[in-house]
Amino acid sequence: MNSVAPLGLWPFIACRLVIISWSAKLESEKDASATLPFASTSLSMHQLFANQSDSPNIMDVLARLPVAQIAMSAGESKRAKKVAVCASGHFRTFIEPGVHSALAKHAVQVGGASVDTYIVGHLGNYAATASAQTGLGYQAAHARALGSAQTPEIQSAINYAGLNTKKTHISMGDCPALQAAWQAGGVTGRSCRPNGNFMQMMWLDECVRMVRTSGVAYDLIVRTRPDMGVFQPVDYNALPLNQVSFMPKDGYPQFRADYFFAMPMSLVAAWWDSIANMYAGGEDSFPDLALFGDGAGMHETQFPAAIVRDASNVECFRLTDATLRLACQQTQNGHYFGGQVH
């Protein structure tokens, strides 16, 4: 058998010329291989070359495959996804080394993807919902650290090397701050109103705008919150590039998690812009009810992430997958999201 250099070392044009040179021979062949169903990707070497007198080599394989399939064989389909993680919301427990370093370890420094982080963080002591009230004690105890963008805790968190932070926007997260962000970004035709759901979506939209104007061609935007605890690696290769990926939460199927989901860049204009415009136009409902509808046409999955109110209060109960819930509870018991760096 002739030895052949690995496919990854051949220029694609050379491969194409080989295919063209074989086309005349293929036209003249009358054996069973001439009518092989090339749409199938599961054909064996024996099937492809049942009537060949010698052992097949890679040139033979290329000659019998369509150009699109050759491109995939050359590794094009295995290109690492380019991902932008958008962390928007109040900083809260993000200042804990265990929280921001876990985000870096499990959502940024992962295999199969090239990931950057964009942060739209808010300062101060804020809780709009009853569940958020459970974190007020933590916020009060860390009022100094959460009171200014220049505190060592904030600066250490946003500049943590593993996050690959590309851009940040830090403010009090109120209407004056939002209106200033709109003006700076050239956003017109919107009026701010002090509604928590509206503000949440508008600040997420600001983070999405930062990604869209970055000049980087991303495949996915992953929405998270600064106070989310990610406790296992996120598998970006399992996320489709033609569907929004969401995870169910407690109360499913009525509720779907609005605090961690992924949207392909190809759908940002069609899907996300419609959501942002809906809230800008007066919608005030809970995002976990409004964002995903009944989930039709979307990709349901599980993400290893939960809200961290403090190191011993992680909202693992919201995870619907029993295995992930147990893993989350173990991180809570071990204060995984406290002072340790991962």
95-122, pLDDT tens digit by residue?
A: 999 999 999 999 999 999 999 999 999 9
The rounded distance, in Å, linking the Cα atoms of 225 and 256 is 15
Helix, strand or coil, per DSSP, at residue 122: strand
The rounded distance, in Å, linking the Cα atoms of 174 and 306 is 25
- Best CA proximity match to 240, nearest among 300, 156, 317: 300
Q: Does the pLDDT of residue 31 top 50, yes or no?
A: no
83 confidence band (pLDDT: 50, 70, 90) = very high
Which pLDDT belongs to residue 51? 41
pLDDT top residue among 28 and 91: 91
Which pLDDT belongs to residue 321? 97
Q: Does the pLDDT of residue 1 top 50, yes or no?
A: no
Question: Which residues does 12 contact at the CB level (< 8 Å), separation at least 6?
Answer: 70, 71, 74
- Of all residues in the chain, the percent with pLDDT exceeding 90 is 71
Sheet holding 220-224, edge to edge: 165-171, 113-122, 81-90, 220-224, 261-264, 245-246, 299-300
* Helices and strands: H and E segment counts in the chain: 12, 10
Q: Does the pLDDT of residue 75 top 50, yes or no?
A: no
8 A C-beta contact, residue 280 and residue 271 = no
What tokens appear for 103 in the block?
A: 């985000």
218 confidence band (pLDDT: 50, 70, 90) = very high
Q: Does the pLDDT of residue 221 top 70, yes or no?
A: yes
Which pLDDT belongs to residue 78? 64
Question: Which residues does 192 contact at the CB level (< 8 Å), separation at least 6?
Answer: 175, 178, 179, 199, 202
Q: How many residues does the chain have?
A: 342
Question: Which residues does 58 contact at the CB level (< 8 Å), separation at least 6?
Answer: 4, 7
Least confident interval from 60-69, 146-155, 283-292: 60-69
Averaged pLDDT score across all residues of the chain: 83
Sequence letter at residue 152:
P
Q: Does the pLDDT of residue 202 top 60, yes or no?
A: yes
Which pLDDT belongs to residue 145? 96
148-161, pLDDT tens digit by residue?
A: 999 999 999 999 99
**223-237: average pLDDT:** 98
Which pLDDT belongs to residue 45? 32
The rounded distance, in Å, linking the Cα atoms of 285 and 287 is 6
- Best CA proximity match to 22, nearest among 46, 49, 50: 49
> What are the percentages of helix, strand and coil residues in the chain, rounded to 5?
45, 15, 40
Least confident interval from 2-11, 183-192, 273-282: 2-11
**332-338: average pLDDT:** 93
Which pLDDT belongs to residue 125? 79
Which pLDDT belongs to residue 61? 33
161-192, pLDDT tens digit by residue?
A: 999 999 999 999 999 999 999 999 999 999 99
The rounded distance, in Å, linking the Cα atoms of 264 and 245 is 9
Question: What backbone phi and psi angles, to 5 degrees, belong to 144?
Answer: -65, -45
How is residue 308 annotated by DSSP? E
Which pLDDT belongs to residue 251? 87
Q: Does the pLDDT of residue 40 top 60, yes or no?
A: no
pLDDT top residue among 10 and 126: 126
60 confidence band (pLDDT: 50, 70, 90) = very low
